[in-house]
Amino acid sequence: MSPALPSYEEAAALVSGIAAQVRAQRPRIERVHLAAAAGRILAQPIRADRDQPPFSRSTRDGFACRAAEASTHEFLSVAGATRAGDPPAGLLDPGAAWEIMTGAPVPPGAGSVIMIEHVEQTDGQVRLLPPRKVSEGENIVAQGAQARTGDELIPAGTAITFAHIACAAECGYSALEVFVRPRVAILTTGDELVPVESAPAPGQIRNSNSPMLAALVAAAGGEPWVLPTASDDALALDNSLAEAAQADLLLISGGVSAGKFDLVEPALARAGAEFHFTGVRIQPGKPLVFAVLPRKSAINLHTQEAARAIPVPVFGLPGNPISSAVTFLLFAAPMLAALAGSLQPGPRFALAQLAKATDKHGKPGLTRFLPASCQFNPPAGKLPQVALVSWHGSGDLAALARSNCFLVIPEEADSLEPGAIVQILLP
C-alpha cells in the first residue's frame, strides 16, 4: 500500500478545493422556457411577486365564521357565498356565516372555516354539530403565511426540479435564467477499443465508456463532447489532448495504470498539466489522476480573463468501466456541478441496512465502493435493504447493470455483517 496516496476523504477535499475556485467564476447565463428548465441550474433567485397565499384562503369546502360563535352550536345565518376565483367578500356580520369553497378568499372578520361535513343546515342557517368545536384560524391559510412579497423562495445555484418549476410558476416566471451547461470532453484511450457500431475483431472490445460517460455527464448537468478514441501512442494522445483542452472539463478514460501503454500521465505532463494526485486509496479506481491544464478558450465563462484564471480540470479515469463510473460519481460529478454553477455538488450518500454479509477479501487500506442493489421500498418500518451484486471485477458490465448504487466499505472494515447500517453511494 502506497502511503503517499490520499485517502478518499483527502482526495475529495482536494477536488472540492479546486471546485470552490471554479465556482467563484460564475458561468454564462441563458434564458430557457419554464417548461424546459428541469435539470438546469438556476442563475437568478426566485422571489415572490405577491403574498402567498395572496388572500386568506379556505382549505376546505364549508362555512367561514367566527370561531367563538360557531363553537356555541347556535345557528348562524348564511349571508352569502364565495367560490374559488371570486373576489373577497366584505366584512362578515356578527352572527353570520359565509358559504365558502376550497381555494376561495375568506371574508374579513371570519377567523375560521367549519367543514361542510361537520354542520347542520336548515333554511338559510347553519350550525356546527356538537360536540365539535372550531378554533381560530382552523382551515384557513392566512394571507402571506407561506411567503411575503419580495421574499427569496429559491436561491440561484439550485438544481431545478418539478418543485422549483411549480414555485416559479406561482411567482409568474414563464422563463428562467439558467447557467450555460459546461462542455465536458470525453476522451477514451486504448488500442483495443472499437465504436459500438463496429464488429470487434478478436482481442478487441467495444468502447462502452464513451456512451456511459456521456450519459453520466448529461445527468450531472454537463454537455458531453465525445472525441474520437485516441490510440495508445504518444503523438495521438498529444493531438487529442490539444483539442480536448478547449473544453470546460476533461475526462480521459484509460491509460492511467502502471502498464507499458499507459501513456496518459506523461502526455498530460507534456501538455503542461499541474497534478493534484495520481492515485487514491479507493477500490475500484485507485489509479485515478486529477490535474489541471492551462485553458485555451472559454466555453461557459464570461471573459477571457476569467478563462485564463481558471485552468481546465482533468480527470484521468481508470479504463475499467466500473472504475470509470465510480470515480466519475465521486470526483468528476462534484467538479462538474461547480462548473455548472450548482450549490449542491454531491456526491450523494444515503444510509441503508445490509441484507447479506460482504466478503472478507477486500484490500486493506482502501475505501471500497462496490456495485450493490438496494431495495428502496422495504417492508414497513425497515430501512432500505442493500446487498452486493456478485461480480467479476470492475470490467463486469452485466453486474453494473444489475446494481443501482455502490456499497461503501470503509478503509478500516475488512467485511460487514448482515443488519449493519451502511453507507451507499447513489448514482
Which residues of this chain interact with Mg ion, rule CB under 5 A? 190, 254-255, 319
| Cβ-proximal residues to 36 (8 Å cutoff; 6+ apart), any chain | none
Classify residue 203 by burial, with Cβ atoms within 10 Å: 0-12, 13-18, 19+.
exposed
Note whether 62 and 119 are within 8 A (CB).
yes
Backbone phi and psi for residue 166, each to the nearest 5 degrees, phi listed first: -65, -45
Q: Which listed residue (139, 207, 327, 403) binds ligand AMP by CB under 6 A?
A: 207
Residue of minimal Cβ distance to ligand AMP = 319
Binding window for ligand AMP (CB under 6 A); candidates: 24-32, 248-256, 382-390, 409-417: 248-256
Which partner, Mg ion, ligand AMP, none, binds residue 345 by CB below 5 to 8 Å per kind?
A: none
What is the nearest approach in angstroms of ligand AMP to the Cβ of residue 393?
A: 9
Number of residues that this document lists for the chain: 427
Amino acid at the residue 361: H
For ligand AMP, give the closer residue by CB, 157 or 321: 321
Distance CA 132, CA 120 (A): 12
Which partner, ligand AMP, Mg ion, none, binds residue 243 by CB below 5 to 8 Å per kind?
A: none
Q: Which listed residue (21, 125, 146, 208) binds ligand AMP by CB under 6 A?
A: 208
Binding-site size for ligand AMP (CB under 6 A) equals 20
Classify residue 389 by burial, with Cβ atoms within 10 Å: 0-12, 13-18, 19+.
middle
Between residue 390 and residue 419, which ones bind ligand AMP under the rule CB under 6 A? 395
For Mg ion, give the closer residue by CB, 27 or 255: 255
For ligand AMP, give the closer residue by CB, 21 or 257: 257
Classify residue 208 by burial, with Cβ atoms within 10 Å: 0-12, 13-18, 19+.
middle
For ligand AMP, give the closer residue by CB, 92 or 186: 186
What is the nearest approach in angstroms of ligand AMP to the Cβ of residue 277?
A: 16
Which partner, Mg ion, ligand AMP, none, binds residue 76 by CB below 5 to 8 Å per kind?
A: none
Binding window for ligand AMP (CB under 6 A); candidates: 77-85, 254-262, 288-296, 335-343: 254-262
User: Is there binding between residue 253 and ligand AMP (CB under 6 A)?
Assistant: yes
What is the nearest approach in angstroms of ligand AMP to the Cβ of residue 318?
A: 5
Amino acid at the residue 220: A
**17 has which bridge partners?**
none
Q: List, as one string, the DSSP characters of 329-369.
A: IIIIHHHHHHHTT-S----EEEEEEESSPPPS-PPTT-EEE
Helix (H, G, I), strand (E, B) or coil at 238: helix
For ligand AMP, give the closer residue by CB, 63 or 328: 328
What is the nearest approach in angstroms of ligand AMP to the Cβ of residue 31?
A: 36
Tell me the per-residue interface mask from 309 to 328 with ligand AMP, x by CB under 6 A, - otherwise: ---------xxxx-------
Largest CA distance in the chain: 95
Note whether 105 and 86 are within 8 A (CB).
yes
Distance CA 45, CA 198 (A): 48
For Mg ion, give the closer residue by CB, 76 or 252: 252
User: Is there binding between residue 233 and ligand AMP (CB under 6 A)?
Assistant: no
Note whether 286 and 280 are within 8 A (CB).
yes
Binding window for ligand AMP (CB under 6 A); candidates: 15-23, 51-59, 171-179, 250-258: 250-258
Q: Which listed residue (254, 285, 311, 334) binds ligand AMP by CB under 6 A?
A: 254
Which partner, ligand AMP, Mg ion, none, binds residue 318 by CB below 5 to 8 Å per kind?
A: ligand AMP
Distance CA 180, CA 177 (A): 9
**Helix then strand then coil, % of the chain, to nearest 5:** 20, 30, 50
User: Is there binding between residue 240 and ligand AMP (CB under 6 A)?
Assistant: no
For ligand AMP, give the closer residue by CB, 196 or 242: 196
Distance CA 183, CA 180 (A): 9
Give residues in contact with ligand AMP (CB under 6 A).
Answer: 188, 190, 192-193, 205, 207-209, 253-257, 259, 262, 318-321, 395
